[in-house]
Structure 1
Amino acid sequence: MRFSYIRLLADDYEACFRFYADVLKFPVLWGSEETRYAEFEVGSSTKLALNQREVVAEALGTDADDPHLPRQDRIAVIFEVDDVDAKAAELLAAGVPMASPAKDWTAWGIRAAHFRDPDGYLLEINRPLRV
């Protein structure tokens, strides 16, 4: 696994986009204030991504306002893997709780599966879809 992104899941996506693009002046690699997803160059091989929080909650079928999970999906740690299905099976065998099974997210251009760490943080394993 290769650490590839930290993805912040924002309630106020537009304000956060302006903060990272205009205040911190991180170059925008992909996205805009309107796209609800953006990637920023932060001077590292790991990138910073910003996503509208509701988009991820909707995609995973979770409740962004669940009072039992106050930190639920405020941040996602993203790892790129060579084989999503094999790594997902390995994590399941190790007892890691699955949040979303491996599938193609064609709108996102990736195959991904989602898990939770022991404290409930969202982890994504993915690889780009082959074109």
Structure 2
Amino acid sequence: MRCSYIRLLVNDYEACFRFYADVLKLPVLWGDEVSRYAEFDVRSGTRLALNQREVMAEALETDTADPALPHQDRLAVIFEVDDVDETAAGLVASGARLVMEPRDWTAWGIRAAHFRDPDGYLLEVNSPLVPLV
């Protein structure tokens, strides 16, 4: 497993985008002020990503009142793996709490599964979808 992204799940996407792009002057690798998702170069093997909070909540079907989640997620740690299904099965067997089973997120270009750590933080394991030949 390789930590590939730290994803901030933000309320005011446009203001946050301008902050990281214009104030911190991080190079934008993907996205823009209105895309609701962007990636920034932080000069390491791990990227910083911004995601509109509601987009992630809708994708994970956590946009309803859940007593275990008094507030929507604010952060996700993303790990790139070779095989999402195998990794997810191993994590479940080891006791990880599954949030969303492995599935293809074609709009995102990845196969991913989502988990929560013991404190409730959102974790994602993913791998790029391989284009059909």
TM-score, with length taken from structure 1:
0.95
Q: Match for residue 54 of structure 2?
A: 54
In 2, the alpha carbon distance for the partners of 1:52 and 1:96 equals 26
Tell me the secondary structure at the aligned position of residue 100 of structure 1: strand
In 1, the alpha carbon distance for the partners of 2:38 and 2:71 equals 21
In 2, the alpha carbon distance for the partners of 1:34 and 1:17 equals 9
> What letter is aligned with 1:87?
T
- Computed over aligned residues only, the root mean square deviation of the Cα atoms, in angstroms, reads 1.3
Q: Tell me, which stretches of 5 or more residues in structure 1 are unaligned?
A: none
Residue 68 of structure 1: how far off its partner (Å): 4.6
What is the correspondence of 1:1-131 to structure 2 with a 5 Å cutoff?
Answer: 1-63=1-63, 66=66, 68-131=68-131
CA deviation string 1:14-53 (max 9, x = no partner)? 1000000000000000000110000000111110000000
> What letter is aligned with 2:52?
Q
In 1, the alpha carbon distance for the partners of 2:9 and 2:64 equals 10
Q: Tell me, which stretches of 5 or more residues in structure 2 are unaligned?
A: none
- Deviant stretches of 4+, over 4 Å: 64-68
